[in-house]
Structure 1
Amino acid sequence: MSMDPAELADRLGRWSAGRGPLYLLLAARLRRLVDEGELPSGTTLPPDRALASVLAVGRGTVVAAYDQLRLEGRISRRQGSGTRVAGPPRPGPRESTGAPVFLHLLEPRDDDVILLACAAPSAPPAMLLTAYERALPQLATVTSDIGYHPSGHWRLRRAVADHYTGRGVPTGPGQVLVTNGGQQALSLLARAFVEPGGTVLVEAPTYPGALEAFREQTTSLEALPVGLDGFEARVRTSDRRLELAYLVSTHHNPTGAVLPSLARRRLVAAAAAASVPLIDDEILAHLALPGQETPPPLAAFGETVISVGSLSKSVWGGLRIGWIRAPRPVIDRLARLRAVHDLGGNVTAQLAAAELLPHLETLCQDIAADRRARHDHLRAELARRLPQWQAPPVTGGQTLWVRLPRGDGDSFAQTALRHGVAVLPGSGLDASGGSREFIRIHFLAAPDTLTEAARRLATAWHAYGDGRDQGTPAPRSMAV
């Protein structure tokens, strides 16, 4: 297939927007088109002069961009046969990865390790089963629908829109994109907004899955304290281009912090003034402990906020339902991008989610007292067995952010694993390279399991403190 110069120019869009040499900007945009499949392998690209003429640049700019992609293996150039797309590079398999370990810690295990690294409900609630019972008969009424819904099924988009409207954020279905969980939502946003060389602003520490979604698109992550404290000064004094800013404003992962209303208002105003897209990860927002009030959603303070939600933490991870709430042009752009990779999610699951979503607050309130009891139980066990550890209480969420009195979380995580407990070392959650003295553990397990986990952690800590297990860093595959 030969690509017409004008057609390629249309696909390139505003490729020259940004800083840096034109050939690098052109190479970056072509790279994304190749990697995302919009320029399939084998496609013949326009000759240097023809593309340069359409783009109104010198021929040397196109030659240099093509040469850059040739060196990366994404295109091939042979005299007489033109320039062809070779496809994205195919690196060989790696033994380990810095990405969240969805296979290492999420796959079923047949050993006796207690998993305190991954926080999510351990079984679907009865309310979910009821939702499926109500959803299944709806399939019998489906006609003239082939089942592909890249933006999400209209029933669920309407339910998510009503959910936000009920929380004080007026929303229409056209402002909602349904995704296969929150992780896909973050990956789509990273692909849509982050250009190679661009900078993403994150909290330190933060959710490691978000860090890896952004690292897939850029190596430039810049960290600010939790709540993006210092954001206004950052955008005022730095000349580095910001592609995105990301935070978990309510029941922060991993610290449990909640951003106050005044700070929310100031942050949203500053991001809008600087034209920086602001992503608010709301996946834990509904998980307040009893008696705790939370501020309005970040999106209530400005229409430009992009909200990410999911039912994985509040209902069950196996449901794989998430969403993005954003201005209509953003949703339309994300839907086009998703269609390249994924023609839509499971319709039955979306119908069940639409039945369940109006009752989400009730479900979260019903389990809040039990989560409080488990939170208190784990903290009491840690205080009894490991009084040197600092494990502050939280007002919501699912995890404790524990400071170790000595050593580091990476080497202790390896020791803990040898003693039958998987914990998450803090360094994998911190793009600044800090938080090495922390570990993250969840409190969702049954009380007797939490008691046994605390006993094993104490045994591991004594071995670690005796020096028998210090100095061996945990593998990067512990980060999830």
Structure 2
Amino acid sequence: MDRVRAMDDDLVARLGRWSAGRGPLYLLLATRIRRLIDEGVLPPGSLLPPDRRLAAALAVGRTTVVAAYDALRAEGRVVRRQGSGTRVAPAALAPEPRVKETSNPLFLHLLEAPDDVILLSCAAPTSAPPEVARAYATMTLPVGDLGYHPAGLAPLRSALAARYAERGVPTAAEQILVTTGAQQALSLLTRLLVAPGDGVLVEAPTYPGALDLFREASAVLHPVTAGRDGVDAALRVMSRHRPVLSYVIAAYQNPTGAVLPSLAGRRLVETAGELGLPLVDDEVLADLAFSGQAPRPLAAYGDVIGVGSLSKVVWAGLRIGWVRGPAPLIARLARLKAIHDLGSDVPSQLAAVRLLAGFETIRARRVAELSAGHDQLRAELARWLPSWTCVPATGGQTLWVRLPYGDGVSFAQLALRHGVAVLPGATVDPLGASGPFLRLHFLADAAVLSEAVRRLAGAWEEYGDGGAGVSTSLGAAASLNAIVV
């Protein structure tokens, strides 16, 4: 049953925002399934979920799924037989696949922006502060420089090393690799350190972009509960399974917003060091403390690979990220990066040097905006959806909201049809324990947040009217290789 459920969950995740379009729902669903078949994501012979189970997961009536399957059967893309279910048509009948997709495309779905849909699923600043334009307008490009710097421009590496030193983590420029965003940093680390079948320790839930990378690498996931409650389990995983990589978000964890206590963080770092296991701390959100100082980085307690970015404080479109780690590791990563792109673009790096010089002003402004958005979103949720619960955040960009009943996967499908895209917790939790949760960001302005909650309230009213039929959870879209400790 667990294997069948996980396979169904995978299809639900791959369907993405299938209903964000115009026309009858059954045609929209048929169109998305057709695309998955044509691209080879659903190969010939694949068993599709039964009508009722898929209808419950998508929060639609059974007739919608039946009509979609019938339309695909008429095209010859699926075969439906009494007693054996619905399957993708054999290769002799089905169109030739054009693309083979090996990883879960959930992360890409988060970046899509359908018309008239408020995107509360992708948490990143959508507008650049004025300092970005000024940095580009006033820069002087180098002369006599080929422009290929796989490890990054020396001034930027020095500036980033200085920021670590200011936070109590002495760092040399040789310990910094500049990347095209934090996503590339994680991708390079995964390519260098993880081979198919290797174990990777992850928090549950966690950042979806990291999960996609580990699954693409065919890693065996070892999920543990995020935050303080999962530290003991993480230490057991390290001792028993010796994962080749452990990935945590210690400050304002994505998606829960939790902060790992310093004592727990120290235990994690010391155990990883004693066992000689690479530990990656995703620091992308660490600068977004609403009040007081940011939490102490895990690297202050020992050998930790830090991953950072300017995308959350400055602008998502400024693709500047980095890895901080031992100089030999950085040299290996630089060689790997050279194979892929010969180095991040020089103008962005020059702009980043200037932005770091005035970073505190930019950070303070962004934090003030986020704090106001946090309070606005919580107030609107209390007004329109008082039965939903969430713990106030102390930093970061998101709220981790618990529904009083039902599950986030099926509700997210319904919310999309009301014009709001949200991230269901089950899709980012390899443990399968986040079914009733949603992640909502508060980066939008007050008017947009208010309208988003009003639409969510309309979706919730309809969801409640649906009764048990739409509250049946299909669980998390987790890897079948996940090991629960």
- TM-score, structure 1 as length reference: 0.75
Change (3 A) 1:96 1:149: closer
Cα distance, 1:235 vs structure 2:
2.8
Q: Is the 8 A contact 2:279 2:304 kept in 1?
A: yes
Determine the structure 2 residue equivalent to 1:232.
235
Please identify runs of 4+ aligned residues in structure 1 that moved more than 4 A.
94-97, 471-477
Distance 1:123 1:326 in 2: 31
Q: Is the 8 A contact 2:299 2:305 kept in 1?
A: yes
- The AA in structure 1 aligned to 2:352 is A
- The AA in structure 2 aligned to 1:210 is A
In structure 1, the residue corresponding to 2:272 is in which secondary structure? helix
Q: Is the 8 A contact 2:405 2:471 kept in 1?
A: no
Moved more, 354-363 or 396-405: 354-363
| 1:243 to 2:240 alignment | no
Residue-by-residue CA offset, 1:345-385 (whole Å, 9 max, x unaligned):
11000100011113223211123222211111111111111
Distance 2:157 2:97 in 1: 38
Q: Is the 8 A contact 2:158 2:172 kept in 1?
A: yes
Q: Is the 8 A contact 1:382 1:389 kept in 2?
A: yes
Distance 1:340 1:253 in 2: 30
Q: Is the 8 A contact 1:309 1:323 kept in 2?
A: yes
Paired residues for 1:451-466 under 5 Å: 451-466=450-465
- TM-score, structure 2 as length reference: 0.74
Cα distance, 1:183 vs structure 2:
0.5
Which of these two proteins has the greater Rg computed from alpha carbons? Answer: 1
Change (3 A) 1:163 1:409: same
Paired residues for 1:97-112 under 5 Å: 98-102=104-108, 104-109=109-114, 111-112=115-116
Residue-by-residue CA offset, 1:413-436 (whole Å, 9 max, x unaligned):
000000000000111211222211
RMSD: 2.3
Determine the structure 1 residue equivalent to 2:315.
316
| 1:361 to 2:360 alignment | yes
Distance 1:328 1:193 in 2: 16
Q: Is the 8 A contact 2:202 2:248 kept in 1?
A: yes
Determine the structure 1 residue equivalent to 2:370.
371
Determine the structure 1 residue equivalent to 2:148.
148
Determine the structure 1 residue equivalent to 2:422.
423
Distance 1:249 1:471 in 2: 33
Q: Is the 8 A contact 1:200 1:244 kept in 2?
A: yes
Distance 2:335 2:370 in 1: 39
Distance 1:474 1:448 in 2: 34
Determine the structure 1 residue equivalent to 2:204.
204
Identity of aligned residues (%): 56
Distance 1:391 1:311 in 2: 27
Distance 2:374 2:298 in 1: 26
Q: Is the 8 A contact 2:309 2:320 kept in 1?
A: yes
Distance 1:321 1:427 in 2: 30
Determine the structure 1 residue equivalent to 2:481.
none
In structure 2, the residue corresponding to 1:318 is in which secondary structure? coil
Paired residues for 1:10-159 under 5 Å: 92-93=98-99, 98-102=104-108, 104-109=109-114, 111-135=115-139, 138-139=140-141, 141-143=142-144, 145-159=145-159
Moved more, 121-130 or 404-413: 121-130
Distance 1:358 1:440 in 2: 33
| 1:268 to 2:269 alignment | yes
- The AA in structure 2 aligned to 1:183 is Q
Change (3 A) 1:475 1:415: farther
Distance 1:198 1:173 in 2: 31
Q: Is the 8 A contact 1:399 1:440 kept in 2?
A: yes
Paired residues for 1:319-468 under 5 Å: 319-467=318-466
Q: Is the 8 A contact 2:237 2:243 kept in 1?
A: no
Change (3 A) 1:420 1:261: same
Distance 1:147 1:426 in 2: 42
In structure 1, the residue corresponding to 2:389 is in which secondary structure? coil
Aligned residue-pair number: 378
Cα distance, 1:473 vs structure 2:
8.1
Change (3 A) 1:97 1:192: closer
Q: Is the 8 A contact 1:247 1:281 kept in 2?
A: yes
Change (3 A) 1:105 1:201: closer
Change (3 A) 1:222 1:451: same
Change (3 A) 1:257 1:383: same
Distance 1:413 1:283 in 2: 26
